[in-house]
Amino acid sequence: MTQPFRGGGSGFHSGIWAGVSLRLLEDRIEASSPEMLYTLSSAVHPGGFSYANRIVNWKVPLSYQCDDPVRDLKRKCGEWGCDYRQTAGLITAAKLTHASIMERAGDRFKLVGCVTAGTRNAARAGMPRDTFPAYTPGTINTILLIDGRLTESAMVNAVITATEAKTAALQDLGIAEKANGKSATGTTTDAIVIGVSQHSRWDAVHAYAGAATTVGNAIAETVYAAVHEAVRTQQED
């Protein structure tokens, strides 16, 4: 089952990576790891390269005023009992119940992926547009947890690969930007978090993560399938 929260489920425990879990709580999905992960993200908080053992995808109402999202996430971390210094925070207005979670074990790595998807503000990159206000409800948030060792350049490469896979899924689903009818490449507020264990139990370091590599191909397959499912089912019960 790749949408474990539909039908009343509230927890997912990885079958390939001991201790890794995702929980659906009242207003968020929490992904947690028993070990600190080296992260690269475009998350609202903290973004860039950092460390985290918890990733939170916080659901906000369509009326959410995004004046200071970093402040809001730090405050919410306090309410949730999370240490904001060890937490990566995403924001979404999509249905958390329709999150798609998939995992794969491969060549010297294990991978757990989670996608939530709203496409109200689907957009095609490269088209002229009014860029204010920057926040419009509807976001595709991608969380990739990798038990393995990757160079920083491979982590950046993984972001590219995941983005290409997301775009391919949207195109295959026929998602278009409303303003011009052209195929969407994403939404205007998409975000991604990649967390890597970098654990010494792995005897090899992945230097690349493009589609021609084992880890990159697994990322592409996982993200494509998860985005496709999360978007396709977003309007279902």
Q: Residue 42 domain-assigned?
A: yes
Is 6 contained in some domain?
Answer: no
pLDDT of 133 reads 57
> What's the gap between Cα 236 and its chain centre?
21
CA dist 135 to 50, 57, 130, 144, 174, Å?
24, 16, 12, 23, 23
Asked if residue 124 is part of any domain, the answer here is yes
- Cα–Cα dist 189/158, whole Å: 19
What's the number of CA atoms in the CB half-sphere (13 Å) around residue 33?
28
Give the other-Cβ count within 10 Å of 59's Cβ: 20
Give the torsion sign (CA, 1, 216, 187, 114). Answer: positive
Model pLDDT, residue 97? 97
Tens of pLDDT along 171-201? Answer: 999 999 998 999 999 999 999 999 999 999 9
Total domain count for the chain?
1
Residue 34 lies in a domain: yes
Q: So what's the pLDDT on residue 202?
A: 96
4 occurs within a structural domain: no
pTM: 0.96
Here the tokens at position 68 are 């200071």
Whether the Cβ atoms of residue 21 and residue 14 lie closer than 8 Å to each other: yes
What is the domain-level CATH number for residue 74? 3.60.70
Q: Is residue 120 included in any domain, yes or no? A: yes
According to the model, what pLDDT value does residue 132 have? 58
Q: Classify residue 237: in a domain, yes or no.
A: no
**Which segments of the chain have a pLDDT < 70?**
1, 132-137
pLDDT computed for residue 15 by the predictor: 97
Coil, strand or helix at 167: helix
> Which residues form the domain of 164?
11-232
Nearest to 113 by CA among 150, 142, 88, 89: 142
List the structure tokens of 19. 């201790």
In a domain, 1, yes or no: no
Backbone region of residue 227 per phi and psi (left: phi > 0; alpha: psi in -120 to 50; beta: other values)? alpha
